[in-house]
Amino acid sequence: MGATASNSNAKPRKNGLAQHSGEWKGFVDLELESADKEYLAAWVESDEWSGTDMIVMLLGDGYKLSLSPDPKHNCVVATATGRLDACANVGYSMSARGPDAEKALAALGYKIYHVLSGEPWVDNPKAKDRQLGLWG
């Protein structure tokens, strides 16, 4: 399923990436513990952290990445959604918040690669499906 423009004469883009054929399955949530938050704050300030490297890693693993301001809560939200069939979490989304885009991205990467070790989110007891029922 390739991306197309909105008119009926459009041709699919040829980007060489296999798109996922499934539908969006929902959000998966992961609350960081106090120790995780302390480690994360130190990591972002260290020479080990690179926002560019995190973006490259997430995209390389088949995630769609978005950053959105949340002025109501005075933060930025980073969201990764598994988009490619090779992605361990195809169809699922996970978000993280931070005081700015860089720190939101760091929190998201920390959840995915450190806490959940890059494994399927729905198989990990630390992660929770936060989908509501049709009427809830």
Between residues 86 and 60, the one the model is more confident about: 60
Does residue 7 surpass a pLDDT of 80?
no
pLDDT in tens, 89-106: 999 999 999 999 999 999
Residue 50: both structure tokens together:
């690179």
Does residue 2 surpass a pLDDT of 60?
no
Instruction: State pTM to two decimals.
Output: 0.78
Between residues 55 and 17, the one the model is more confident about: 55
pLDDT of residue 126: 85
Does residue 132 surpass a pLDDT of 70?
no
* Average of per-residue pLDDT across 2-29: 54
* Average of per-residue pLDDT across 39-64: 93
State how far the Cα of 37 lies from the Cα of 20, in Å rounded to an integer.
33
Does residue 41 surpass a pLDDT of 80?
yes
- Reported confidence tier of residue 129, pLDDT bands at 50, 70, 90: low
- 8 Å CB contact between 55 and 61: no
Residue 9: both structure tokens together:
């004469």
The residues with which 75 forms a beta bridge, in sequence order, are 70
Residue 106: both structure tokens together:
């760091």
Residue 21: DSSP 8-state: -
State how far the Cα of 71 lies from the Cα of 119, in Å rounded to an integer.
32
- 8 Å CB contact between 55 and 31: no
State how far the Cα of 25 lies from the Cα of 36, in Å rounded to an integer.
27
pLDDT of residue 3: 34
Question: Order of strands, edge to edge, in the sheet holding 92-98?
Answer: 63-70, 75-82, 92-98, 26-29, 128-129
- Reported confidence tier of residue 78, pLDDT bands at 50, 70, 90: very high
- Report domain extents, the chain: 26-124
Q: Which CATH number does 26-124 carry? A: 3.30.160
Q: Which candidate, 124, 128, 97, places its Cα nearest to that of 113?
A: 124
